[in-house]
Structure 1
């Protein structure tokens, strides 16, 4: 599941760039969240009858916080940021999630304490990401709003981190419902915000509608369900390792789809990233091997 998320989210920045050519940032975010919420809500109700909690415990405030910080806030921040910063910088900001989640989990989750192994593994992986992205990601684009765009990227990374830790703290719940309800909450938040910021929605061209539909169904609806499953089963720290893969897949898609040149640093970066993941998650990997 983590590998699938890395591939899907690695291609997302490319699709966002294509969609932004025909629609404004806030309505792009609102469109993908609303489509994803509708799809997952229909499937959830059809399969479970709309039952969410599996016990007597309830945490609706936490669910509302997850809805805001896992959908509305980061999608809007990234869509707006990519009109002012390079996609490389947006990608490396997602890699920072792993470094943010580690201390948050240490203080908020009793079963996710920081160790030398996890800290060293995450740092090695981050070095691999920095080698992969290179200095070009931080080269100025000349846009006067670029500093705010960079802050928006970091805000999105912080939002994802807090929502992941909060999700792990929720009481037992249906995973499909836990994917659908935050999307619905996020949709209810971001649509009025888009109206306030950009007025009534435009009528995009069919090609733009296709990109929005792709963003809504695959990296939003489908990937959000996988994200919930990973966080609930393995924890937010393990989930955060997905974001080390995102820049790698972005480069690979650029080579395959855009015929960009293959650079030797790709292989060095991949080796460091995989080594970091292996070091930080070695106890879990060893238990999996032993069971087999």
Structure 2
């Protein structure tokens, strides 16, 4: 498949909106964690989002699948794409700034390129991909910093938990490609969040107990934001942009999210990031540009026209 290189003004606007929404989700989750535990935060995220998407799919007349194998695949997708990464990242955010969390989150695309090359025959490893992956992981290591190895502490564990969450996201993308292909995107997201809800509810009750609903208004606002806006609505927007602009252009959201999260963390929580974090993000962004391949293709095209 030839990657789509053009992107309309409308797609740019919606891509920017998605970046703002997901960039703000890191601050919203961290705000909720002031009063609730990480597993409860995930439960309060996926269960309302699943409810909202069921209402949406019913109103749109999108039929629910009857094949039990598809429901089983969605259950696994919920574990890989929601329960594990959301929980790991929520716990990690207790010890890592929102800005750095968003930077490390960009490693998802790097893991995805590596795993796809290892698993799928049509995604073979090339020199360009190998270079992009190496740059991307180098950026992650630089953002974390050498202190994570010399002074292993809760912050270091939090950073590793976030990176582990990005690996789970990447595995989930492979799983979706293998088992959920052909399912309507809105229904795939609905099934995934339903599976997530089925898994997270007992996990929450066993680890953190019955949650208190006596929460501050700001906490409820944060929960409603990351559940309904940054999850339910964002999934619908994500698939809309995918249809308009293609997967290659959609990867740009990975580069646009961290600046939003960094600014919000600095303004609202007075967070500061080290020079290593910014340098790591720059290197990671370069790796993603190399993985995308279009910039190098344009350079080669100009060179060829000069000959």
TM over 0.5: yes
Where does 1:194-233 land on structure 2 (aligned, <5 Å)?
194-203=204-213, 204-228=215-239
1:157-178 CA-to-partner distances (Å, cap 9, x unmatched) read 1211111111122331111101
Q: CA RMSD in A?
A: 4.0
Structure 2 unmatched ranges of 5 or more: 1-13, 299-307
From 95, 98, 101, the equivalent of 1:90 is: 101
From 157, 179, 185, the equivalent of 2:195 is: 185
Who is 1:18 aligned against? 31
Give the CA deviation at 1:238: 7.2
Give the CA deviation at 1:182: 0.4
Who is 1:164 aligned against? 173
**CA spacing shift, 1:274–1:194, aligned 2, 3 Å:** closer
Paired residues of 1:30 and 1:194 also in contact (CA < 8 A):
yes
Q: Partner of 2:122: helix, strand, or coil?
A: coil
- Relative to the length of structure 1, the TM-score reads 0.77
Distance 2:269 2:97 in 1: 16
**CA spacing shift, 1:227–1:24, aligned 2, 3 Å:** same
Distance 1:107 1:202 in 2: 45
Structure 1 unmatched ranges of 5 or more: 288-292
Q: Partner of 1:111: helix, strand, or coil?
A: helix
Distance 1:265 1:146 in 2: 15
From 126, 137, 140, the equivalent of 1:115 is: 126
**CA spacing shift, 1:227–1:59, aligned 2, 3 Å:** same
Q: Partner of 2:123: helix, strand, or coil?
A: coil
Using the TM superposition, name which of 189-198 and 223-232 deviates more.
223-232
Number of residue pairs the alignment of both structures matches: 283
Distance 1:273 1:147 in 2: 19
Who is 1:280 aligned against? 291
